[in-house]
Amino acid sequence: MDPVKEKKLVAATSLMAAVGLTLIKAIIGLATGSLGILSEAAHSGLDFAAALMTFLAVSVSSKPADESHHFGHGKFESFSALFETVLLLFTCAWIIYKAAYRLAGHRVEVEVNFWSFAVMGIAILVDVSRSRALMRVARKYGSQALEADALHFQSDIYSSLVVIFGLIFTKVGFHMADPFAALGVSILVMVASVRLALRSTHVLLDRAPSGLESVIRETLVALPEVVEIRKLRIRDSGTQVFVDVTIAVDGALSLDESHRIADHTEHSIGAVVPKADVSVHVEPVVSVKQS
């Protein structure tokens, strides 16, 4: 399947899953009065917004470079991921406020029944399926937006388990379990959101991908024609990695020979960093023979 079509398909499927989960959680949450389930409905509602952003980001980021975006549109994925975290943090603030209200003594009767557990069980099955599908395609194509969506569904799995435990304790008479479960969901979502925000911000601020510089330096050092590595710059942009390198070569070499070394250097870097956009600048140095 075409990479762009496959990314769009998995993003669209996740979008539909988020819509379905939001609806059933909201209906059961309102019917039972469970803040834990309602917090999950709000979480899934923002997952819908996040999935929509992911779908749009994947569509836009696949566009080639143009007159206004010389390095392509890859960073739309990182911007989408950062926007998702803002939505999730707003959700957490609302959940914490409602949980604190109940913990302060404003008790709300929660009806725990078959549907309470059924909706959370269905949610876990859907979340497991979607997180695996998203992560598989994300790793296949190096998509940060799809990976962010996969992390959302993974966090939903854990938060759903927290809500189930809260319902069990509520069923046996510990009524404070439901707001405590909601707080647990908030903490899990906040941790996932902060991690995602940091990763997205690193990409938007052109932070070099972790560990990639040492791999490229080892590759360059192994090339006998390269006398010195004078500059190496790396940055991410969606699924694309841009590598700018300046190397020193023997000044006695001809222009054609220097160009051949530049081409060989590009291919060598491309072999260890697939899909990399590599630019090599060659500078002459006085050769050992001439000195």
Per-domain residue ranges of the chain: 3-204, 212-285
pLDDT per residue as tens, the chain (291 positions): 666 777 778 878 888 888 888 888 888 888 877 776 777 777 677 777 777 777 777 777 667 777 777 676 667 767 777 777 777 777 778 778 777 877 786 665 556 677 778 888 888 898 888 888 888 888 777 676 677 777 777 777 777 777 787 778 777 777 677 677 777 777 777 877 787 788 778 777 777 777 788 889 999 999 998 999 999 998 877 667 889 999 999 988 888 999 999 999 999 998 888 778 899 999 998 755 444
What confidence score (pLDDT) does residue 100 get? 80
DSSP 3-state of 135: helix
CA dist., res. 142 & res. 137, Å (int): 8
The reported pLDDT for the residue numbered 14 is 80
The contacts of residue 23 (CB under 8 Å, 6+ apart) are none
Can you give the pLDDT at residue 229?
92
pLDDT of residue 248: 92
Q: How far is CA 15 from CA 87, 126, 181, 190, 289, in A?
A: 16, 12, 26, 21, 65
Distance of CA 213 to the CA centre of its chain: 21
Pairing of strands 228-237, 276-285: unpaired
pTM of the model: 0.57
Q: How far apart are CA 216 and CA 235, in angstroms?
A: 13
Residue 11's Cβ-side half-sphere holds a number of Cα atoms within 13 Å equal to 27
Cα separation, 7 vs 1, in Å, equals 10
Give residue 109's pLDDT.
Answer: 57
Identify the pLDDT of residue 184.
76
Token pair of 166 as six digits: 């809260």
- Could you tell me how many helices (H) and strands (E) the chain has, helices first? 8, 3
* The CATH number of domain 212-285, selected from 3.40.50.1820, 3.30.70.580, 1.20.1600.10, 3.30.70.1350: 3.30.70.1350
Tokens at 150, concatenated: 């996969």
| pLDDT score recorded for residue 23 | 86
CA atoms within 13 A on the CB side of 170: 29
What tokens does 196 get? 């995602």
**In this structure, are residues 165 and 185 in contact, taking their beta carbons and an 8 Å threshold?**
no
Residue type, 94: W
Computed from CA positions of residues 130, 132, 138, 140, in that sequence, does the dihedral angle turn out positive or negative?
A: negative
**pLDDT (0 to 100) of residue 263:** 93
The pLDDT value given to residue 118: 84
CB-side neighbour CA atoms (13 Å) of 54: 33
Q: What is the pLDDT of residue 107?
A: 60
State which fold the 3-204 domain adopts. Alpha-lytic protease prodomain-like (1.20.1510)
